[in-house]
Structure 1
Amino acid sequence: MRFLVIAARACACIRPALHPRPDWAQDMAGPTPPLPDRLAACLTDLWPLARTQHGTLPPSPPPASPEWLHTAWSLIRPPCQMMETGGDERLDPDPTTRLNRYGTCGHSRPDVLAFSSSTASFPSPLACTAMEAAWFGLMQDLAYQRPSTSMAELRAFVAAHFGADSAGHVVMAASGTDCSLAALALCAMGGATVSTILPGAEETGSGVPMATLGRHFAHRTARGIAVEPGRVIAGFAAHNLCIAIPLRTQDGTLRAEASVQAACAQAVTAALAQGHRVLLYLLDVSKTGLMAPAPDTIRALQALDPARVDVLVDGCQARLTPAHVRAYLAQGWAVMVTGSKFFAGPAFCGALLLPEHWRARLETGALPSGLADYAHQNEWPPLPAAQATLPTGLNSGLVLRWTGARAEMAAFAAVPARARRVRLGRFLSGVEHLLRQCPCVLPVTAASPRRAHQDDTWAGRQSIFSFLILAPGGAGVLDMPRSRLLHRWLQADLSACLPPHKATLAAMACYVGQPVAMTHPQAPGNIAGALRIAASARHAATPQHDPAGFIDSEISKVGLVLDKIALILRHWDSVARHNPAPTLPLAPDTPPQTAFTALRSAPTESKKDA
């Protein structure tokens, strides 16, 4: 019975999936369970569907447990909607397009030209299959009222993949920004005031500077609690500081490394003189692929006062290898990673990897009380400080998203190291050539990462290509507002506002990284918007029968993206008059009997009252 309730409610919650919409669907999609008589009528209507799949069921449905319904009702969602939970409002779908703020959604989009891993990606069919299996597991746990082990398994996977000492050295988090907040909490245990030194603040997540202050960075937390952005989170010091260190000059060129080092040194020295603890960031790498400061600089600054200077590596782009992560952890530096970005898993799956002395703080200290609004116990190491502060519960959306990322990461790891290097190198060289030849873009210089632990892997190359757009008519480069418009129009079907002979190109949904603000003297207001084309793990986990052909096809698709940019620039005024929205995603359609069968058929130790 519980499986039928789960299957029916999940299917009813997918708005466009049922045509015509049966009577039971409105009741099963409601925010609260139907009244007993109405629920009984709904289940009676649905029972023949279940019996066609399982003839051994009795001729009429047994009653559903009111207690179980009250507990389970709000937790039952279809997979694509469950994925949208357990984050902040950036994950919320637009009511018209069903796309989130990144322009993506919870199911696969094979129709798009996808080079946006520096921002967010649609899940691949591989990830969707893994997430659907995880959803069935979560729903079975719910039906049998048994605790889920999913988060513990994912923490163990992340530890094994990146080389952390154990699952007890991993904190799971909804996003890179949530990772920053978790890192500050560990640095600030005991109520210490913290000065965060943040190189390239303009090229990290938009909420990171606020999170480093211990303040709310969105209107809703990952646990769904409404908060006021900018307000100090309970338990964090009110006078934390964030010192931003720019990585570029006023004309957009890279700042000299010595200048960045000197600014970081001055900030660390001043913070220590004020009696603050210091949280010093190392970007590996930024939104445009920059790495700063140099690891040698970080080591020298930490040596000024090792007991009060913590180092946090922002590896949220995940464009580094497990060997690099292990080298950072071995130096006592914490590392933030994600399963999205380079690995192209669903947006909003982050993790903070802890060196031993960070983990040990959880054995005796106390976390800021307000962290309870953001995280559950099972996302943190099972140690006293986390268990005393954080509530029990499960972030089901985070489980699904990390499960999808896990599938992408496993596929990438299965490719031999040399093949990964060759395939990604072929793609990166092809993209570089196209950008140099394109007359409507201005590539932005970014040096390849220089790490203390160097090797000959793919991670030694620049894998994010940033570029400014030359404005129509040759009037400088596009500023941020027009770059955002261009980014949005690339995702949209423009065939209605462009010449008919260009309809095929105009209709293509093209995904590149969201524009990054960058100073430039030829942009209105001196602030340009740099779009980004990035490699992802999928460019290495290619079809085995013809990897070179697949890579060449992807390079050709990059050419089509640049062609669409040129087309929009030539017809800017016409497109602006229409201002089309991004293309609607295809909606999944799972009939209730299919979901019911899958839930019932999976092996389990008991099917009592299910």
Structure 2
Amino acid sequence: MATTNAAPPTAHQPNTRDLSVAEVENCIRNVGPIFHILPPNHRAPWDTISFTLQPPSIAHTSSSKAFSLKVYKKWVKRAPLPGGDGGAPPSPTYSESAGSFGLDMCTHVLRCGKTELENALSSLYAVALQEAVEQHLTEGGDERLHLSPDGNLYFCPPHPVPAAIIRGTCTCSPPSRNAIGSACTRLSNIWNRAESFDGAFDDVRHRISTALGLQTRHHIVLHPSGTDAEYTPLLIGTSSAKALGCSGVVNVVVGVGEVGSNTPNAAGGRHFSKFVPSGGAVSAKALVGDFPEGTKVLELKARFADGSTVPNFDQQVVDAIEQAEACSEKPFFIVHALDGSKLGSRITDRKLVTDIQTRLGNRVLIVLDACQGRTESEELDWYLSRGAVVLMTASKFYGAPGFCGMAVVPDSAALPLREGVTVPPGLGDYLTKYQVPSNLTAFRAALPAEPINVGLLLRWTCGVEEMERLARVGSGARVAIRRWVYAVKDLIRQEYPSLELMSESSCPTNEGTQLGGVNSIIAFKLLAREDKTPLATAALKQIHRWLTTDVSGLLPNCAGEEERRFAALSCFIGQPVAIGDFAVLRLAIGAALAAELGEDPSVLKTVLGEDAEVLGKIEVLLKYHKVM
């Protein structure tokens, strides 16, 4: 194939200073290390200087060619570069067959000024950087990250959507402009060798600890998701069980149905997806290579089929532990606590933790599931100071692109990871040494160095940007969270009779545990207009998908103009959660919005107007979903 959108050489201008081949090649080299100049025998037959894009983070030749074509197509659609004293900017051509760019020379000179050439190449570099970040954001995880025309599994693209209304930070969100800017800066630094991968991961860990204000000495293991973060406490548990001569491991998962659907699989040391972050394919639910057989997982639900909460749930956890002890000789227990379920609920109480630790002593490891990221630092520190591993993500409340999780290991529980832990080789599909801090010596040494999870690094870079902004705003953001929650609930009660708020949880509450002192996830049913019964999960899944895009063309002819305006909106909200006999949708405030409202409380009126738009579209979809 010849060239794509090839442009003729720029006409010679009287004030143009011709650039020699050497000067052009020097400009190309100086703009960025991703530009590789081809030797003359590899160039196209015409008089050109040819170069390729070879980003260090995109290794394979075939991948580089596909990447270059995408970059070129986006680059030619950009706003035209302004001219300057040196004349019109040059317009590189692109050869799909060769996978290379070309600058047309006329009698061995390029007829443009140096500034114009540098501007053109810099704009090409900027497009390549943005494209690489978006590509990496969809890599290094399971199939929930993989893209379709609608985005990932949650219909979120790996780039900002400026016109969209974002209220889906309990599920997944497109990244903010600031977050993407930070990711671009980080990747450019890595390309230019201003930062190493090891240094970048260490920087992320340090910034997380500082932004969260954690006081207890700890170590952060960065995971591709909150689900596979379960492998770190399981590794500690199996190692501790072996050292204590225990008969096996019993892993107690609480709030099943309100935590990640694959949590029980990961808690048992099993794969939970067909694809692993290393890029390979596995048999879902098979044991991760060389994890010990026989981990027993107890799955405890905290709600009945009608949505009401199980009374005395903590006692049910204790009863389950007693029954497991009666069936095994001296088992080791991993017991989950939960602060922030999919519905924002706090499922267990602190007293449960102290009672279990008193009862079992060194035969128990507590795991706090705070994956929603809506837990106050004081609560995180309370658990860490008592030897609990804390699981969190940046891809929920903090609005990072899905998926990025972490296991925060208190120093008091880290001994097995420092000294002599046996790491199952299969964990190398999820973790590389860069994701583990250097002071967890044995754990890190047993992991592979590659493939480096660039996508995870960039997703966490996005997340920590929002963490730091929220930390800077401080108490103002927490006040803003409360104001938003109360105002939106009032709005639903007063204006939207077809939407029914889910009753407040009767699970243990402690205003000190939740950011803002409130449950910042608003769950509600959609009531069918005929008999006021709640819509089931399948219908809510379709509505959730329609919310993300313009579906005005799907409305019937009888729909009014205002209804079509609502249907054209793009809104990201929390995906449906099935609760026994019914399902709910969710609105959630995230860190970016909380910080914005904390910085300027007067913005709340505008924000509530956006919420009314989201609710208006939901009502339109509820009205017409059967005929759409």
Q: TM-score, normalised by structure 1?
A: 0.81
Q: How far did 1:166 drift?
A: 8.3
Matched, 1:381 2:443: no
Distance 1:54 1:118 in 2: 47
User: 2:370 is aligned with what amino acid?
Assistant: G
Matched, 1:538 2:569: no
Aligned residue in 2 for 1:214: 269
- Is the contact between residue 191 and residue 236 of structure 1 (CA under 8 Å) also seen in structure 2? no
Deviations 1:362-402 (A, max 9, x none): 12222222111110111113233223320113211111111
User: 2:567 is aligned with what amino acid?
Assistant: A
User: 1:92 is aligned with what amino acid?
Assistant: H
Matched, 1:366 2:397: no
Write the mapping of 1:400-415 to structure 2, written as runs, cut at 5 A.
400-415=458-473
Question: 400, 411, 425: which is aligned to 1:345?
Answer: 400
Question: 106, 115, 131: which is aligned to 2:158?
Answer: 106
Matched, 1:567 2:620: yes
Deviations 1:88-131 (A, max 9, x none): 1100110x23x001111211111112110000111111111111
Aligned residue in 1 for 2:316: 263
Write the mapping of 1:178-217 to structure 2, written as runs, cut at 5 A.
178-189=228-239, 193-217=248-272
Q: How far did 1:456 drift?
A: 9.2
- Is the contact between residue 198 and residue 434 of structure 2 (CA under 8 Å) also seen in structure 1? no
- Is the contact between residue 443 and residue 468 of structure 1 (CA under 8 Å) also seen in structure 2? yes
Report the 3-state secondary structure (helix = DSSP H, G, I; strand = E; otherwise coil) of the residue aligned with 1:202: coil
Closer, same or farther: CA 352–25 of 1 in aligned 2, 3 Å:
farther
Q: How far did 1:152 drift?
A: 1.3
Structure 1 residue runs of 5 or longer lacking an equivalent are: 28-37, 58-74, 521-527, 576-610
User: 1:510 is aligned with what amino acid?
Assistant: C
Deviations 1:437-471 (A, max 9, x none): 2211121123388567x649744211111111112
User: 1:200 is aligned with what amino acid?
Assistant: G
Closer, same or farther: CA 310–53 of 1 in aligned 2, 3 Å:
farther
Question: 339, 345, 350: which is aligned to 1:284?
Answer: 339
User: 1:264 is aligned with what amino acid?
Assistant: V
Closer, same or farther: CA 361–433 of 1 in aligned 2, 3 Å:
same
Higher relative contact order, chain-length normalized (CA < 8 Å, sep 6+): 1
Matched, 1:435 2:492: yes
User: 2:140 is aligned with what amino acid?
Assistant: G
Closer, same or farther: CA 368–475 of 1 in aligned 2, 3 Å:
same
Q: Which one has the bigger helix percentage?
A: 1
Closer, same or farther: CA 213–15 of 1 in aligned 2, 3 Å:
farther
Q: How far did 1:11 drift?
A: 4.8
Question: 536, 542, 549: which is aligned to 1:492?
Answer: 549
Aligned residue in 2 for 1:272: 325
User: 2:596 is aligned with what amino acid?
Assistant: T
Matched, 1:552 2:602: no
Closer, same or farther: CA 45–135 of 1 in aligned 2, 3 Å:
farther
Closer, same or farther: CA 369–222 of 1 in aligned 2, 3 Å:
same
Deviations 1:522-561 (A, max 9, x none): xxxxxx221111111123211777x233222112221222
- Is the contact between residue 117 and residue 536 of structure 1 (CA under 8 Å) also seen in structure 2? yes
Report the 3-state secondary structure (helix = DSSP H, G, I; strand = E; otherwise coil) of the residue aligned with 1:446: coil
- Is the contact between residue 334 and residue 366 of structure 2 (CA under 8 Å) also seen in structure 1? yes
- Is the contact between residue 190 and residue 196 of structure 2 (CA under 8 Å) also seen in structure 1? no
Deviations 1:221-245 (A, max 9, x none): 1221211101111121222121111
Matched, 1:516 2:577: yes
Aligned residue in 1 for 2:20: none
Q: How far did 1:182 drift?
A: 2.1
Distance 1:198 1:456 in 2: 20
Structure 2 residue runs of 5 or longer lacking an equivalent are: 1-28, 36-52, 56-63, 78-90, 119-128, 243-247
Q: How far did 1:357 drift?
A: 2.5
Closer, same or farther: CA 407–177 of 1 in aligned 2, 3 Å:
same
Q: How far did 1:574 drift?
A: 2.7
Aligned residue in 1 for 2:208: 158
User: 2:96 is aligned with what amino acid?
Assistant: Q
Matched, 1:397 2:455: yes
Q: In terms of Rg, which structure is larger?
A: 2
User: 1:564 is aligned with what amino acid?
Assistant: K
Deviations 1:399-438 (A, max 9, x none): 1111111111111111131x12322222111111022222
- Is the contact between residue 13 and residue 78 of structure 1 (CA under 8 Å) also seen in structure 2? no
Question: 223, 227, 243: which is aligned to 1:173?
Answer: 223
Distance 2:197 2:513 in 1: 44
Closer, same or farther: CA 321–23 of 1 in aligned 2, 3 Å:
same
Deviations 1:143-173 (A, max 9, x none): x896552111111222223345689611111
Aligned residue in 2 for 1:608: none
User: 2:165 is aligned with what amino acid?
Assistant: L
Write the mapping of 1:285-324 to structure 2, written as runs, cut at 5 A.
285-324=340-379
Distance 2:521 2:415 in 1: 36
Distance 2:110 2:331 in 1: 65
Deviations 1:193-221 (A, max 9, x none): 32111111111112211101111011111
User: 1:515 is aligned with what amino acid?
Assistant: P
Q: How far did 1:313 drift?
A: 0.3
Distance 2:539 2:345 in 1: 24
Closer, same or farther: CA 544–487 of 1 in aligned 2, 3 Å:
closer
Closer, same or farther: CA 541–162 of 1 in aligned 2, 3 Å:
closer
Q: TM-score, normalised by structure 2?
A: 0.78
- Is the contact between residue 197 and residue 244 of structure 1 (CA under 8 Å) also seen in structure 2? yes
Matched, 1:127 2:158: no
Question: 13, 31, 34: which is aligned to 1:3?
Answer: 34
Aligned residue in 2 for 1:32: none
Write the mapping of 1:65-104 to structure 2, written as runs, cut at 5 A.
78-94=132-148, 96-97=149-150, 99-104=151-156
Closer, same or farther: CA 24–464 of 1 in aligned 2, 3 Å:
same
Distance 2:408 2:195 in 1: 31
- Is the contact between residue 189 and residue 367 of structure 1 (CA under 8 Å) also seen in structure 2? no
Report the 3-state secondary structure (helix = DSSP H, G, I; strand = E; otherwise coil) of the residue aligned with 2:627: helix
- Is the contact between residue 283 and residue 291 of structure 1 (CA under 8 Å) also seen in structure 2? yes
Closer, same or farther: CA 167–255 of 1 in aligned 2, 3 Å:
closer
- Is the contact between residue 195 and residue 242 of structure 1 (CA under 8 Å) also seen in structure 2? yes
User: 1:497 is aligned with what amino acid?
Assistant: L
Distance 1:26 1:270 in 2: 66
Q: How far did 1:261 drift?
A: 1.9
User: 1:466 is aligned with what amino acid?
Assistant: A
Report the 3-state secondary structure (helix = DSSP H, G, I; strand = E; otherwise coil) of the residue aligned with 1:343: coil
Report the 3-state secondary structure (helix = DSSP H, G, I; strand = E; otherwise coil) of the residue aligned with 1:264: helix
- Is the contact between residue 477 and residue 597 of structure 2 (CA under 8 Å) also seen in structure 1? no
Closer, same or farther: CA 51–401 of 1 in aligned 2, 3 Å:
farther
